[in-house]
Homo-oligomer: A and B are copies of this chain.
Amino acid sequence: MAQSHDALTGYLEEHKDDAQQILEQLCRQPSIAAQNVGIQEMSTLVEHLLQDAGFSTQRLLVEGAPPAIYGELRGRSPYTLLLYNHYDVQPAEPLELWHSPAFEPTVRAGKLYARGVADNKGEIAARLAAIHALRATTGELPITLRWIIEGEEEIGSPHFEGIAARYADLLRADGCLWEGAGFDMNDNPTLCLGTKGLLYVQLDVQGIAIDAHSGTAAILPSAAWRLVQALATLRTPEGRVRIPGFYDAVRPLSEAQKAAIAQQTDMDEQMMERYQITQFVSSQRGAALREYGATMPTCNLAGLVSGYTGEGTKTVLPAKAMAKIDFRLVPDQDPHDILEKLRSHLKAEGYADIQVSVFGAAEPVVTPIEDAFAQRIAAIAQSYEGRAPSITPILGGTLPLLGPLRRHVGLPGLSAPGNPSYWDSGAHAPNEHIRISDLHRAVRFNCHMFQALG
């Protein structure tokens, strides 16, 4: 081991630029799921890159979805790790805000800029480079890897249910590393053990058939007012959701989860600076605030529109009004149950005429801190960095693929710090970037982790 470790160190030094070359190759190929741009080309490129790294591959196909690329690479130990990534990216718009073209990877001041470089082509490159290094220096991997890379994560993985159901046998493993976590503001490695669920609905109110002059407002029904009044029944001004039964299934955090939250880096000041606020919703701070954020399901107004929204005045009584709401759900809330409760509430409050359309439903998925796989990855992160990783028991965001993965395959999972993104990478935003030093660090960490699991 000592010798191979030295050999590995030398190899990584000598091939320092390999990960960046792979990453730039990945970033030069646009792969925008929402716009169906470059998706087929990208799936072919990913399959070739997995084959180059020694994987036997296949394309996982379900009706209506671009191929998910699957690869398996047998190692010395029967211990099997499932890796999850996605090869699609967010749209690059607004293009005019990019300082260099979104699909021309560009280095400036030690940072690499491109759409998808942080989310999550950087992790694909870091994992590939680590696998190349281990195979080159030790002949074979210490463990068996299975790897699924889908092409629809950025549009909510609408076909992952079908993929996980049809190909469950291929996806079985001792544990799964999801799309990865990075490093926090204090450069601590982070582990993320869960994500909130999501129910995304659109409410549409049709009042009159066509817009009217607002001189008729005394006698014609108003869609805009009806929507406002219906929305006002959903939440108290303090933010508590008024839908009966909404909180019934909420499971409190465990003591271990609370302890992990208490040890996270305090980001209050940075958040207050970034969003220019003087206090948070709950008036809490520090660990209490983070605990509140992890525990509370939300009813967020993501969009709202009716009538005239341009400059100046237009005296119109709008024919219709629309709101988009995303509910973020915590264990053990179920999005379908919450949808039924929402519909019942609107009906009971006299708003049965409001049309409720569902645009997304994903359950919350959380791996307990006590889980053996989670404990093992945490110990590996600690042994590598010499300090305990920062553990997030549940993120505010959602990975819709985790629900199907848990239901059809059932293995424990988490996000490990093998992802070369950092807190300011600007995923989904213009000028998305990584620090190139983080890419090298992620390659080294992945090597260490694969070896330590062996």
Does the CB pair B281–A301 fall under 8 Å? no
A289 close to chain B: CB less than 8 A: yes
Determine the distance from Cα of A302 to Cα of B318 in the docked complex, in whole angstroms: 6
Determine the distance from Cα of A322 to Cα of B300 in the docked complex, in whole angstroms: 17
* A206 CB to nearest B CB, Å: 9
Determine the distance from Cα of A209 to Cα of B306 in the docked complex, in whole angstroms: 23
Which of B198, B282, B322 is within 8 Å of A219, CB to CB? B282
With A196-B215, A219-B281, A225-B239: A324-B303 Cβ-Cβ less than 8 Å: no
A95 close to chain B: CB less than 8 A: no
Determine the distance from Cα of A140 to Cα of B260 in the docked complex, in whole angstroms: 96
Does the CB pair B317–A308 fall under 8 Å? no
Which residues of the partner chain B approach A198 to less than 8 Å between Cβ atoms?
315
Does the CB pair A309–B322 fall under 8 Å? yes
Which of A215, A227, A296 gathers the greatest number of chain B CB atoms within 10 Å?
A215
Which residues of the partner chain B approach A316 to less than 8 Å between Cβ atoms?
302-303
Number of interface residues of A (CB under 8 A): 72
Which of B237, B274, B308, B328 is within 8 Å of A215, CB to CB? B328
This chain's copy number in the assembly: 2
Closest to A212 in B: B275
Does the CB pair A303–B318 fall under 8 Å? yes
Which of A122-130, A167-175, A181-189, A392-400 is the contact stretch? A392-400
Closest to A198 in B: B315
Which of B302, B303, B313 is within 8 Å of A360, CB to CB? B313
Closest to A214 in B: B300
Does the CB pair B360–A275 fall under 8 Å? no
Determine the distance from Cα of A235 to Cα of B221 in the docked complex, in whole angstroms: 13
A48 close to chain B: CB less than 8 A: no
Does the CB pair B274–A209 fall under 8 Å? yes
With A215-B396, A313-B324: A301-B307 Cβ-Cβ less than 8 Å: yes
A375 close to chain B: CB less than 8 A: no
* A117 CB to nearest B CB, Å: 18
Which residues of the partner chain B approach A271 to less than 8 Å between Cβ atoms?
216, 219-220
Which residues of the partner chain B approach A296 to less than 8 Å between Cβ atoms?
218
The DSSP consensus for interface residues of chain A is mixed
Closest to A397 in B: B215
- Residues of A317-352 at the interface with B, using a CB-CB cut-off of 8 Å, are 317-318, 321-322, 324, 326, 328, 350
Which of B276, B302, B305, B317 is within 8 Å of A214, CB to CB? B302
Which of A198, A274, A324, A395 gathers the greatest number of chain B CB atoms within 10 Å?
A324
Determine the distance from Cα of A309 to Cα of B143 in the docked complex, in whole angstroms: 48
Does the CB pair A213–B313 fall under 8 Å? no
Does the CB pair B321–A300 fall under 8 Å? no
Does the CB pair A396–B360 fall under 8 Å? no
Which residues of the partner chain B approach A219 to less than 8 Å between Cβ atoms?
271, 280-282, 289, 292-293
Which residues of the partner chain B approach A229 to less than 8 Å between Cβ atoms?
232, 235, 237
Interface readout for A177-206 with B: 1 if CB under 8 Å, 0 if not?
A: 000000000000000000010101000000
* A152 CB to nearest B CB, Å: 13
A386 close to chain B: CB less than 8 A: no
* A79 CB to nearest B CB, Å: 33
Does the CB pair B217–A396 fall under 8 Å? yes
Does the CB pair A218–B307 fall under 8 Å? no
With A304-B304, A316-B302, A324-B307: A228-B232 Cβ-Cβ less than 8 Å: yes
Determine the distance from Cα of A301 to Cα of B225 in the docked complex, in whole angstroms: 7
* A198 CB to nearest B CB, Å: 7
A298 close to chain B: CB less than 8 A: yes
With A210-B275, A292-B219, A398-B215: A309-B300 Cβ-Cβ less than 8 Å: no
Determine the distance from Cα of A163 to Cα of B200 in the docked complex, in whole angstroms: 54
State the A residues within 8 Å of B (CB).
Answer: 156, 196, 198, 200, 208-210, 212-222, 224-225, 227-229, 231-232, 235, 237, 239, 271, 274-277, 280-282, 289, 292-293, 296-298, 300-309, 312-318, 321-322, 324, 326, 328, 350, 359-360, 395-398, 428
Q: List 14 A-B contacts (CB under 8 A).
A: A208-B275, A213-B397, A214-B396, A215-B398, A218-B298, A224-B301, A224-B302, A224-B303, A225-B239, A228-B301, A301-B306, A302-B315, A304-B305, A314-B324
- Besides A214-B300, A218-B297, 4 more A-B contacts (Cβ < 8 Å) are A200-B315, A214-B326, A219-B271, A303-B307
